[in-house]
């Protein structure tokens, strides 16, 4: 069974909350974090081995495995 690819929009408290909830799900894989805040966005992306994107609209244009879900937090 392949993993469900997830993109997160935002890098604040709610984004961290959602990421913590995804972590125990073995079939969930966060592939990208989009945020206007480059500092916190890059920090979260590095922590979760995801790609940082500065503009959420680029989530749908990624050449990465396409996310099956996008959380806007």
pLDDT in tens, 13-35: 999 999 999 989 999 889 899 99
Q: Are 47 and 40 in contact (CB under 8 A)?
A: no
Residues in the chain: 73
The answer to whether 20 touches 67, Cβ cutoff 8 Å, is no
| Residue 36: CATH number of its domain | 3.40.50.720
Domain that holds residue 13: 4-72
The SS3 call for residue 37 is coil
Number of domains observed in the structure of the chain: 1
Q: Is the pLDDT of residue 71 over 70?
A: no
Q: Are 5 and 22 in contact (CB under 8 A)?
A: no
Give the predicted TM-score (pTM) of the model.
Answer: 0.77
Which of 38-53 are b and which e, b meaning 16 or more Cβ less than 10 Å from the residue's Cβ? eebbebbbeebebbbb
């Amino acid at each position: 069974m392949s993993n469900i690819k997830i993109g997160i929009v935002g890098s604040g408290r709610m984004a961290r909350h959602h990421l913590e909830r995804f972590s125990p799900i073995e079939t969930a894989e966060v592939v990208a974090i989009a945020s206007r805040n480059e500092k916190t966005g890059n920090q979260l992306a590095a922590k979760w081995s995801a790609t940082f994107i500065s503009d959420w609209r680029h989530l749908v244009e990624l050449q990465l495995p396409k996310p099956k879900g996008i959380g806007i937090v």
